[in-house]
Structure 1
Amino acid sequence: MGSPEGFAPGVIGQLERAMYGLKDAPRLYGKHFKRIAAEEGWEEIVESIFVLKDEEKKVKAVMAVHVDDLLIFSADSARDFEPLRQRLKMDEPEILSTGGEMGYMGLEVRKNESGFEISQEVYLKSIPVQTDDLPRKSLSPEMLNEEKEEEKEEDLVAVMMKVMGVLGWVCQTSADLTFVFSELSCYSSPPTGSKLVAALLALIRAREKNDSLRFEGVIDPKLALFVDAVYSLSRCEGRGGFEAYLVDKKEKIEGMRRTNLVVWKSKRIKRKLISSTSAELCALVDGVKQSFQ
């Protein structure tokens, strides 16, 4: 970033209010960044995801923003990023070549001959919890159900918040844990002992599976959407989830590559339901809507 307006080398000034460190700093920086990005042709299509289009209005570059870290995917990322870099007076970008790896906020981004891979292998290995330390050895549906007879413990709130924070970040590359995370979030304040154990077992499962997101080029793209839902008879409510993959139109669902998972979500269905079928229909409608947003 350049010097604020009114400042120059050799000039002494008095600061009345500094943006850095204040609660509104991220908002002000984000507003400034988005304005400059828009002036340089970048369009924000969803929160923190920008695209740059060519003269034919086709997307030629994608930029993901996390605070002040930028990830740019393009045939010539240095060229496409240069105007924005000059405006914001940023350092030279780090170019990821084939076979290379880059660390990013607990993630590892690798580039191979077919595309990119994003994993959390190092982050997952740093989690110190072991199955032998816990009274239960595997996750079960009963652990996710609300146990009214079990005492809720205020002393576990701080621990549960920390564990859920880690689990939420792990869900960035582990789509199958999104349901568990969403369900446990409903009972985390104050939590019960079994809910804390379930969250820890979910982290152990993620570490053992070590899932990664793989992205490959698609010539003639289509969205392949998968939805599912569960229904609780005692609560008369359901939870739906969906996964959307970007694949070639010629690919058949039964032989589809499980790469290019572009969006997934699990959330409670906010309406009274009478059966698992109604929950699945709600999940299907919501999945179609959100996969095209």
Structure 2
Amino acid sequence: MTTVRTLIAVAAIHSWTISQMDVKNAFLHGDLQENVYMHPLLGVEVPPGYVCHLRRALYGLKQAPRAWFQRFSSVVTAAGFTPSDHDPALFVHTSPRGRTLILLYVDDMLITGDDSEYITFVKERLCEQFMMSDLGSLSYFLGIEITSTTDGYYLSQTKYIQDLLARSGITDTRCAATPMELHLHLKPSDGLPLADPTRYRHLVRSLVYLTATRPDIAYAIHILTQFVSAPTTVHYAHLLRVLRYLWGTISQRLFYTASSWPVLHAYSDAIWASDHTDRRSVTGYCIFLGDSPIAWKSKRQTAVSRSSTEAELRA
């Protein structure tokens, strides 16, 4: 997801248009490099004792994702693209006329750049090799709503939040001012164990994905994920607080401005010994490209720091 946000930030800074394409039956395009056999399907007449030798991948094969990506990589590499050293799913083409970027996520593809002629050529080349649909300008990708304006791009997950609140079972419209209480220290022994922890786990997993556009809840979700194995009534109450906070801030969006310079800025901090169970510290960081946030995280440090200085050094 960091690469998606970075691509959108770069496109916003350079005022590029982002196109979206979808590959139909992507895994069926993969060529198998090893011998794979399967029993004939019902209705296929073959001599007794015979099996089918697959030449291409099928859905359900463990080799299918790798075979599809290798096939796609060979096609775009032949067209002059080079995979990025930082993300193998990002392909870059540079020429005297400009730069073109392709980002692949399974069967969804983003194409942007300032070489419009080459972008048209690439789209035609891909359509020759694969069954594809041109979805036009980017508006919805991986559950994220993208709105393009003359000032930049807006990213949000409003519909995702609405669906999440509908599944949560909350019936009132009360809101919370913050996702978590100040100086809160939760422990595994707080409260009574939930009779059925399934809903807690489902909501937490959904909220983890929501942090893709909501860095303001990253720390709260980091804390709540620590109790998914044995959640209690207290943990569930604080989970509901996060949902009530989202209810009151459902219209918040990330803005990727076109009026900034492509310069990286990184910020990090640490909370020393914030976990009262094992005394480990928590690291938080946020990285900006110009004025646009592209990466952030809140995570517990792997070792115990003996001072706040050591915790910040690890951060």
Query: What range describes the TM-score normalised by the shorter chain of this pair?
Result: 0.7 to 0.9
Does structure 2 retain, via aligned residues, the 8 Å contact 1:225–1:244?
yes
Does structure 1 retain, via aligned residues, the 8 Å contact 2:151–2:259?
no
Identical pairs, percent: 20
Give matches, 1:176-215, under 5 Å. Answer: 176-209=216-249, 210-215=251-256
Instruction: State the 1:19 CA deviation.
Output: 2.0
Q: Do residues 122 (structure 1) and 163 (structure 2) align?
A: no
Instruction: State the 1:226 CA deviation.
Output: 1.6
SS in structure 2 at match of 1:111: strand
Runs of 4+ in 1 over 6 A off after TM superposition: 2-5
Give the whole-Å Cα distance in 2 for the aligned partners of 1:131 and 1:140: 22
Instruction: State the 1:36 CA deviation.
Output: 3.2
Letter in 2 for 1:262: I
SS in structure 1 at match of 2:155: strand
1:175 is matched with 215
Instruction: State the 1:38 CA deviation.
Output: 3.4
Give the greater-gyration-radius structure (CA): 2
1:30 is matched with 69
Give matches, 1:1-293, under 5 Å. Answer: 15=52, 19-40=58-79, 41-47=81-87, 49-55=89-95, 60-75=99-114, 76=116, 78-79=119-120, 81-82=122-123, 85-86=126-127, 88-96=129-137, 102-126=139-163, 127-128=165-166, 129=168, 130=170, 132=172, 139-141=180-182, 145-153=186-194, 155-156=196-197, 158-209=198-249, 210-217=251-258, 220-232=261-273, 234=276, 235-247=278-290, 259-283=291-315
Query: Number of residue pairs matched?
Result: 260
Does structure 2 retain, via aligned residues, the 8 Å contact 1:154–1:190?
no
Change (3 A) 1:125 1:23: same
Does structure 2 retain, via aligned residues, the 8 Å contact 1:109–1:118?
yes
Give the whole-Å Cα distance in 1 for the aligned partners of 2:29 and 2:188: 57
**Unaligned regions of 5+ residues in structure 2, if any?**
1-25, 32-44
Instruction: State the 1:178 CA deviation.
Output: 1.6
Instruction: State the 1:102 CA deviation.
Output: 2.0
2:13 is matched with none
Q: Which has the higher contact order (CA 8 A, sep 6+)?
A: 2
Does structure 2 retain, via aligned residues, the 8 Å contact 1:154–1:191?
no
Letter in 1 for 2:136: I
Does structure 2 retain, via aligned residues, the 8 Å contact 1:143–1:198?
no
Change (3 A) 1:24 1:4: closer
Give the whole-Å Cα distance in 2 for the aligned partners of 1:175 and 1:31: 34
The 10-residue stretch of structure 1 (77-86 or 172-181) with the greater mean CA deviation from structure 2: 77-86
Does structure 1 retain, via aligned residues, the 8 Å contact 2:190–2:232?
no
For residues 224-251 of structure 1, what are the alpha-carbon distances to aligned partners after superposition, in whole Å with 9 as ceiling and x for unaligned? 112122123633210101111111xxxx
Change (3 A) 1:62 1:78: closer
Does structure 2 retain, via aligned residues, the 8 Å contact 1:131–1:204?
no
When the two chains are superposed, the root-mean-square deviation of aligned CA atoms in Å is: 3.5
SS in structure 2 at match of 1:241: strand
Does structure 2 retain, via aligned residues, the 8 Å contact 1:109–1:117?
yes
Instruction: State the 1:69 CA deviation.
Output: 1.0
Instruction: State the 1:160 CA deviation.
Output: 2.0
For residues 113-148 of structure 1, what are the alpha-carbon distances to aligned partners after superposition, in whole Å with 9 as ceiling and x for unaligned? 1222221112212222448489x9962256552142
2:34 is matched with none
Give the whole-Å Cα distance in 2 for the aligned partners of 1:218 and 1:26: 39
Change (3 A) 1:202 1:83: same
Change (3 A) 1:174 1:274: same
